[in-house]
């Protein structure tokens, strides 16, 4: 039998194949008055966007991935032991590069029953299902291609699950979305499940802003990629050269805001969204927020969602936080 035939991979898809929701979201986000225009971050991640993101995680300025990896490498065996987890569900799994420490610890404890990667980008779910079944022959992988703001109900049922949401992806949700998301996670949890949440922590502004303004311009290319997606999917004619990447920290909401700023007046036609747009010179479109947390805020928000913080780990310098929460 070939190695391929022995793989135990299932992939369910819940994202609509057409550009329907993109068209709706672009219409409602860009159709707003100047100063309020925005796009949703999930559209940054097509295949090219996911590749650029993977490069971001290796940039010298982008400390969160390194710090979170260090925490996971160190804490994974203990986490597996204290939670008694037998299954790993990973929301926004991407390349799952840091998750391997958890899978390794689970396999070492003889407790790796299944891995469930969940991501909006089908290419990363497929790639990671194949890579992980190479690493762990016989590992059942049940991938879900879906939107974690809408499709958590489609995560396969299970027990003793560790539901991981890493990379501070939760920080890319707006506060109201964050509350709804956490409530959704709580709803899918049984008493034996645990939630593992990675969050970037509040720190010196210079360090925060540098992480999103790398010298190589990879973050800028990632940000601009959303315009490329809209051009391709909706037949739009955004000129990528005419926009500048902007990322600044706003202490009010405690987030780094990513925006695209028109260098000059832009007339853009987006036929797939039935939208004609004029942007004034200097006008900005918000593409993403990256919220920076404190332990207090995390404990409070988890509690509001019906979860109790059981443990909180950071790297030695306190840059990044990993929370372990149980349903109450």
By CB under 6 A, name the binding residues for ligand SAH.
42, 45, 50, 53, 57, 65, 92-94, 98, 119-121, 124, 147-149, 166-167, 169
212 binds, among ligand SAH, ligand TRP, none (CB under 5 to 8 A by kind): ligand TRP
148 binds, among ligand SAH, ligand TRP, none (CB under 5 to 8 A by kind): ligand SAH
| CB-nearer residue toward ligand SAH: 41 or 158 | 41
Lay out the site mask for ligand TRP across 63-92 (x = CB under 6 A, - = otherwise). Answer: -x----------------------------
In terms of Cα–Cα distance, which of 98, 104, 128 is closest to 116? 128
List 29, 49, 117, 171, residue binding ligand TRP (CB under 6 A): 171
Nearest residue to the partner ligand TRP, using Cβ: 290
> What is the distance between the alpha carbons of residues 125 and 123, in angstroms, rounded to a whole number?
6
290 binds, among ligand SAH, ligand TRP, none (CB under 5 to 8 A by kind): ligand TRP
- Which residues are CB-neighbours of 5 under 8 A, at least 6 positions away? none
Hey, which residues between 234 and 273 contact ligand TRP (CB under 6 A)?
A: 258
The b-or-e profile of 27-47 (16+ CB within 10 A means b, else e) is bebbeeeeeebbbbbbbbbbe
Contact 247, 213 (CB under 8 A): yes
| CB-nearer residue toward ligand TRP: 141 or 226 | 226
> What is the distance between the alpha carbons of residues 46 and 52, in angstroms, rounded to a whole number?
10
> What is the distance between the alpha carbons of residues 198 and 181, in angstroms, rounded to a whole number?
14
β-pair type (194-200, 320-327): antiparallel
Q: What is the 3-state secondary structure (H, E, C) of 16-36?
A: CCCCHHHHHHHHHHHCCCCCC
Lay out the site mask for ligand TRP across 111-150 (x = CB under 6 A, - = otherwise). Answer: ----------------------------------------
In the complex, what is the shortest distance from the CB of residue 93 to ligand SAH, in angstroms, rounded to a whole number? 6
SS3 category, 253: coil
| CB-nearer residue toward ligand SAH: 173 or 260 | 173
Q: State yes or no: residue 103 binds ligand TRP (CB under 6 A).
A: no
Residue range at the interface with ligand TRP (CB under 6 A); choices 71-79, 169-177, 228-236, 307-315: 169-177
Strand ranges (E), 55-214: 87-91, 114-119, 140-145, 161-165, 194-200
Q: State yes or no: residue 288 binds ligand TRP (CB under 6 A).
A: yes
Residue range at the interface with ligand TRP (CB under 6 A); choices 77-85, 143-151, 166-174, 187-195: 166-174
Contact 246, 258 (CB under 8 A): yes
121 sits in which H/E element: none
219 binds, among ligand TRP, ligand SAH, none (CB under 5 to 8 A by kind): ligand TRP
119 binds, among ligand SAH, ligand TRP, none (CB under 5 to 8 A by kind): ligand SAH
Roughly how many angstroms between the first and final C-alpha of the chain, as a whole number? 47
Token output for 165: 């949401």
> What is the distance between the alpha carbons of residues 177 and 164, in angstroms, rounded to a whole number?
18
SS3 category, 306: coil
Residues near ligand TRP, by CB under 6 A: 56, 64, 167-169, 171-172, 200, 212, 219, 222, 258, 288, 290
């Amino acid at each position: 039998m070939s190695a391929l035939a022995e793989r135990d991979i299932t992939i369910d898809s819940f994202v609509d194949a057409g550009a329907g929701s993109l068209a709706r979201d672009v219409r409602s986000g860009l159709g707003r008055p100047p100063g309020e225009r925005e796009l949703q971050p999930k559209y940054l991640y097509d295949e090219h966007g996911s590749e650029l993101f993977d490069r971001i995680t290796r940039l010298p300025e982008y400390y969160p991935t390194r710090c979170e990896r260090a925490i996971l490498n160190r804490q994974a065996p203990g986490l597996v032991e204290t939670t008694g987890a037998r299954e790993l569900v990973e929301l926004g799994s991407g390349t799952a590069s840091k998750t391997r420490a958890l899978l390794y610890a689970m396999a070492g404890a003889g407790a790796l029953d299944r891995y469930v990667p969940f991501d909006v980008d089908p290419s990363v779910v497929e790639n990671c299902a194949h890579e992980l079944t190479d690493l762990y022959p016989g590992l059942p992988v049940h991938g879900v291609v879906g939107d974690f703001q809408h499709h958590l109900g489609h995560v396969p049922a299970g027990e003793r699950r560790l539901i991981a949401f890493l990379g501070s992806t939760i920080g890319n949700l707006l506060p109201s979305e964050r509350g709804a998301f956490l409530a959704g996670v709580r709803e899918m949890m049984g008493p034996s499940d645990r939630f593992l949440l990675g969050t970037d922590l509040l720190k010196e502004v210079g360090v925060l802003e540098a992480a999103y303004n790398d010298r190589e311009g990879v973050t800028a290319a990632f940000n601009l990629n959303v315009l490329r997606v809209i051009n391709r999917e909706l037949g739009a004619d955004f000129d990528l050269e005419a926009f500048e990447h902007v990322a600044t920290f706003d202490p009010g909401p405690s987030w780094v805001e990513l925006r695209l700023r028109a260098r000059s007046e832009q007339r853009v036609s987006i036929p797939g969204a039935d939208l004609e747009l004029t942007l004034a010179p200097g006008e900005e479109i918000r593409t993403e927020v990256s919220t920076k947390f404190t332990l207090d805020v995390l404990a409070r928000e988890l509690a509001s969602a019906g979860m109790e913080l059981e443990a909180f780990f950071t790297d030695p310098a306190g840059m990044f936080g990993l929370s372990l929460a149980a349903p109450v």
